[in-house]
């Protein structure tokens, strides 16, 4: 993974960060790196996430899902950090890869929301007797996940399918989901200790669907290892820290919005995963950048106008893979279109990428380029690890609690209380507010 911060420098962009300011910030980065390394060495909550490449056992995941590898569809039932990593990994590796491998992989459906219309659609679409159900919840109590799972289970029973044979559970050591898996002797994998949901993509939480699809999950972990090896006590020596430090520095100078814009359809979920990582980890104490999601080249025809000429409160991250399976554009003699013939869709996408980057730079808008060699398991693993490390570094620089999510927990308790799942003061607050309306 390469990170180019040249277009975030004050000589190019406003807000921008000067080389002197980065040199000064680098001293804080060095201290933050020491803190992170201490946390990793002690397997401290949150910091332990950066040890996943050493801890995740690809073979154990492959063994657990082996009975489900005949699946014609995969249904991930989870939400937030218990769904987005899996969706990101599978989408990034899915479809036709450069050499055509896994072209027939079972499609992944993500049941994260509890919109009844979507749930009905998915249940009507998947062949329930040939579907692998992947239920994921660290707590084992999240209302959306457990409700969706109960609905899926009922649908399978109604279709005469033994759901215990078609389900793999990933959860914490204790809780209702663990008890269910034990009671029915179902394959159950662990959410690793010390790893918050949004940092768990390189564990069973993120890797089960990819393993069922036959993707190279060892390669993903290997990519994570390369990410770990490239962490160093200077932002000038570590691509991940360069990204985290520059994001922080730009935010301090007014770029309170960060737009993640991959130029790969297969990284669309990555932008959503990044948005969760950044928002839920860094949105504390009145601080944190607001993530925005965009897709190149599509959003060049919509959001780019704002990014280039709107308020100077944004940084844009452009992501691409250097090599991809390509498709020629046919020759044509249609007036004015002949120039397209003979080049390829990939060349056009690259031209769009470079044009956007240059257009933002010409308008003095800070942007960062992230480049992968290709969208394979190693590069994707390194990208996810790198963004997690960038986020943890940014959390140190902001001096906030990166690994908790009190606002999210507030909402969970309120919803649970409102549905009669216990006495929660958060639910009382919602009820009082509703009465006032
Ligand atoms: O990152 C997080 O901690 C959250 O997004 C959780 O993953 C999400 O709330 C789901 O929680 P659980 O895995 O307990 O069902």
| Cα 139 to averaged position of ligand 1 atoms, centre (Å) | 8
Is the per-residue pLDDT at 46 higher than 70? yes
- Mean pLDDT, range 196-205, rounded to an integer: 98
pLDDT digits (tens, 9 = 90+) for 348-358: 999 999 999 99
Q: Catalytic residue at 314?
A: no
pLDDT digits (tens, 9 = 90+) for 100-111: 556 678 999 999
Kindly report which listed range (61-70, 98-107, 219-228) carries the lowest average pLDDT score.
98-107
Is the per-residue pLDDT at 95 higher than 70? no
Sheet holding 314-323, edge to edge: 2-4, 367-374, 314-323, 257-262, 290-293
Contact (CB, 8 A) for 156 and 167: no
Average predicted confidence (pLDDT) for the chain: 94
Of all protein residues, the one whose alpha carbon is nearest to atom 9 of ligand 1 is 80
Q: Is the CB of 206 inside a 6 Å radius of any atom of ligand 1?
A: no
pLDDT confidence of residue 100: 53
Structure tokens at 176: 């209702």
Of all protein residues, the one whose alpha carbon is nearest to atom 8 of ligand 1 is 80
Q: Is the CB of 200 inside a 6 Å radius of any atom of ligand 1?
A: no
Contact (CB, 8 A) for 187 and 52: no
Contact (CB, 8 A) for 53 and 221: yes
- Sign, CA dihedral 43-49-50-53, equals positive
Burial of 364 (0-12, 13-18, 19+ CB in 10 A): middle
Place of tokens 């002690």: 42
Q: Catalytic residue at 184?
A: no
Q: Which atom of ligand 1 is nearest to the CA of 80?
A: 5
d(CA 279, CA 275): 6
For residue 15, give the nearest of 241, 314, 282 by alpha carbon: 314
- Mean pLDDT, range 313-322, rounded to an integer: 97
Sheet holding 108-111, edge to edge: 108-111, 73-77, 131-137, 167-171, 188-190
Residues ≥6 apart with Cβ < 8 Å to 91: 108, 266, 267, 268, 269, 270
pTM for the complete prediction?
A: 0.95
Q: Which atom of ligand 1 is nearest to the CA of 280?
A: 1
Q: What percent of the chain has pLDDT over 90?
A: 88
* Cα 245 → chain centroid: 19
Q: Which atom of ligand 1 is nearest to the CA of 412?
A: 9
Q: Is the peptide bond before 297 cis (omega within 30 degrees of 0)?
A: yes
Is the per-residue pLDDT at 273 higher than 80? yes
Question: Which residues share a beta bridge with 169?
Answer: 135, 188
Structure tokens at 191: 């959410």
Is the per-residue pLDDT at 422 higher than 90? no
pLDDT confidence of residue 31: 98
| Cα 385 to averaged position of ligand 1 atoms, centre (Å) | 18
Q: Catalytic residue at 412?
A: yes
pLDDT confidence of residue 98: 47
The DSSP 8-state label assigned to residue 126 in this structure reads S
Q: Which atom of ligand 1 is nearest to the CA of 78?
A: 15
For the complex shown, is ipTM > 0.95? Answer: yes
Exactly one of 280, 357, 378, 388 is catalytic; which is it?
280
Q: Is the CB of 178 inside a 6 Å radius of any atom of ligand 1?
A: no
Kindly report which listed range (230-239, 283-292, 423-432) carries the lowest average pLDDT score.
423-432
Exactly one of 215, 284, 314, 412 is catalytic; which is it?
412
**Beta strand 131-137 with 167-171: parallel, antiparallel or unpaired?**
parallel
Place of tokens 């899902």: 65
């Amino acid at each position: 993974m390469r990170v180019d911060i040249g277009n975030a420098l004050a000589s190019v962009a406003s807000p921008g960060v000067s080389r002197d300011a980065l040199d000064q910030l680098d001293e804080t980065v060095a201290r933050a790196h020491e803190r992170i390394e201490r946390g990793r060495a002690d397997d401290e909550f949150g910091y332990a996430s950066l040890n996943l490449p050493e801890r995740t056992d690809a073979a154990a995941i492959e063994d657990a899902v082996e009975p489900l590898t005949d699946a014609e569809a995969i249904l991930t039932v989870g939400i937030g950090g218990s769904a987005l990593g899996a969706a990101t990994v599978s989408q990034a590796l899915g479809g036709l890869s450069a050499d055509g491998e896994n072209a027939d992989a079972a499609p992944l459906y993500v049941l994260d929301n509890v919109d009844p219309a979507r749930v009905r659609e998915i249940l009507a679409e998947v062949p329930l007797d040939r579907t692998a159900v992947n239920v994921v919840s660290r707590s084992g109590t999240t209302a959306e996940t457990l409700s969706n799972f109960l609905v899926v289970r009922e649908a399978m029973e109604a279709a005469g399918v033994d759901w215990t044979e078609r389900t793999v559970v990933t959860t914490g050591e204790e809780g209702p989901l663990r008890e269910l898996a034990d009671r029915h002797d179902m394959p159950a994998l662990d959410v690793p200790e010390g790893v918050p949901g949004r940092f768990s993509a390189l564990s069973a939480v993120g890797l089960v669907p990819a393993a069922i699809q036959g993707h190279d999950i060892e390669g993903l972990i290997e990519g994570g290892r390369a990410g770990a090896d490239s962490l160093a006590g200077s932002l000038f020596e570590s691509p991940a820290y360069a990204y985290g430090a520059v994001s922080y520095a730009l935010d301090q100078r007014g770029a309170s919005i960060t737009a993640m814009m991959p130029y790969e359809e297969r990284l669309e979920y990555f932008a959503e995963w990044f948005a969760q990582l950044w928002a839920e980890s860094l949105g504390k104490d009145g601080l944190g950048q607001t993530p925005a999601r965009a897709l190149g080249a599509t959003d060049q025809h919509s959001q780019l106008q704002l990014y280039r000429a709107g308020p100077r409160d944004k940084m844009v991250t452009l992501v691409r893979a250097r090599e991809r399976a390509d498709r020629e554009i046919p020759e044509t003699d249609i007036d004015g279109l002949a120039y397209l013939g003979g080049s390829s869709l990939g060349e056009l996408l690259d031209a769009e990428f470079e044009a956007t980057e240059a257009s933002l730079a010409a308008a003095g808008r800070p942007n960062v380029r992230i480049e992968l060699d290709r969208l394979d398991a190693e590069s994707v693993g390194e990208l996810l690890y790198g963004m997690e490390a960038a986020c943890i570094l940014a959390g140190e620089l902001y001096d906030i609690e990166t690994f908790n999510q009190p606002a999210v927990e507030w909402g969970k308790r309120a919803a649970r209380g409102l549905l009669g799942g216990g006495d929660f003061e958060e639910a009382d607050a919602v009820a009082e507010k509703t009465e006032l309306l």
